[in-house]
A = this chain, B = another copy of it.
Amino acid sequence: MSEDSAGTSLAQGLICPAPHVPDDRVQLGHGSGGKLSAALLRERFLPHLGNETLAELDDGATVPVAPHRLVISTDTFVVSPLEYPGGNIGSLSVHGTLNDVSMMGAEPRYLTAGFVLEEGLPFAVLDRVTAAMAEAARAASVPVIAGDTKVVERGKADGLYLCTTGVGELSDGFRPAAHRARPGDAVLVSGPIGRHGIAVMAAREGLRFEVEVTSDAATLHPLVRTLRDRVGRAVHTLRDPTRGGVASALNEIAVAAGVGIVLEDNAFPIPEPVAAACAVLGLDPLYVANEGIFVAFVEAAVADDAVDALKRHPLGAGAARVGTTVAEHPGLVVLKTGFGGSRVVDMLPGDQLPRIC
């Protein structure tokens, strides 16, 4: 093993010629914990993500929290391709994790990031990913306070994978949860569905549509704040319908709360290009991933107020009521069809679109 002998020689203070490696790409040694690791951190991560806490370069970060309950959420990201219209794996890792925190009613405060890099990944790609991550974190006012990077051999990953953990603070009685949905609740979506999944799939398969579909990925806690400020505890449940789409999220909620859900056909806002792409590809938009909308279950009495509040915020301009929660058929999501009938909207057994996030 050339690394070993080189390592030992250097440890003894000798200098031996290093093998030629291109300097615009990730090398295995960048994961070593040695000088190359330090250079990677200094040159590739800190310029984008640097802040006072991260810059301490300790084994972890020390942060203050108010004396409350914390919300902690972890997400792994393996989206393929790494970059697509409207974002990349870096911004996605911020949006996805912060949204999980805010769906639980918490204000996101801190982020950590773990990278698995494939040997040979161009630094140009890594820089765009890290820059997008930094930009998304800045826009959300949530710093990345700790991180770790490992490198695996060429062919043992797919460019890079990312794992982000978000920490948020619960500050009052606002505590939406899947199991809190109640019969009679109005079911809302905060915006049009299907954009993220179609944008990623089109990029992956090299498809071009007349109107480009961009990912909807966004940090939703400002919109959650808007909703909370208007209708407060009348919000029973929030969930961001990512992989598996709206259908999977609603099924999870129906099961967790032991309620039935009745959806109105044609009530879902579906952007025209998404509808067209789904029709061509044989996809059901209810199962296509989103990264910038949530479903909300609110008391029926405040449904109009809630929709109005959402619509006044740029992130919620496309908000709509799409259904109602019922005591009948607990655990089952049913879509009323245009012909007076109805069909069950089940969870998929497996993937509609793999590696979408």
Contacts and interface: CB of A to CB of B under 8 A. Distances in A.
Contacts of A33: 242-244, 248
Number of copies: 2
A72 B61 contact: yes
Contacts of A37: 244
A112 B165 contact: yes
A3 B350 CA distance: 8
- Size category, A interface: 35 or more
A140 interface: no
A211 interface: no
A61 to B, nearest CB: 5
B78 A70 contact: no
Contact of A146 (B74, B240, B286): B74
Given A13-B343, A282-B8, A104 B32 contact: no
A138 B36 CA distance: 36
A350 B114 contact: no
Interface in A1-49: 3-8, 10-13, 18, 27-38
A268 interface: no
Contacts of A155: 155
Contacts of A139: none
A347 B287 contact: no
Given A34-B347, A248-B34, A287-B7, A62 B67 contact: no
A157 B161 CA distance: 10
Contact of A287 (B11, B31, B59, B344): B11
Given A3-B351, A150-B77, A244-B33, A170 B62 contact: yes
Contact of A239 (B59, B77, B114): B59
Contact of A114 (B3, B75, B157, B284): B75
Contacts of A74: 60, 112-114, 146-148, 163, 165
Interface in A90-104: 100-101, 103-104
A13 B344 contact: yes
A158 B152 contact: yes
Given A8-B284, A116-B116, A72 B100 contact: no
B32 A148 contact: no
A151 interface: yes
A225 to B, nearest CB: 17
Contacts of A38: 347
Contact of A349 (B35, B59, B106): B35
Given A11-B345, A351-B7, A110 B76 contact: no
Interface string A271-287: 00000000001111011
20 contacts: A3-B352, A4-B281, A7-B350, A13-B344, A18-B350, A32-B354, A34-B350, A35-B350, A60-B103, A66-B67, A72-B165, A74-B112, A74-B114, A75-B148, A78-B150, A114-B165, A150-B355, A152-B161, A157-B157, A165-B165
> Which A-B residue pairs are the 8 nearest by beta carbons?
A29-B350, A60-B73, A67-B67, A163-B163, A33-B244, A33-B243, A7-B352, A59-B100
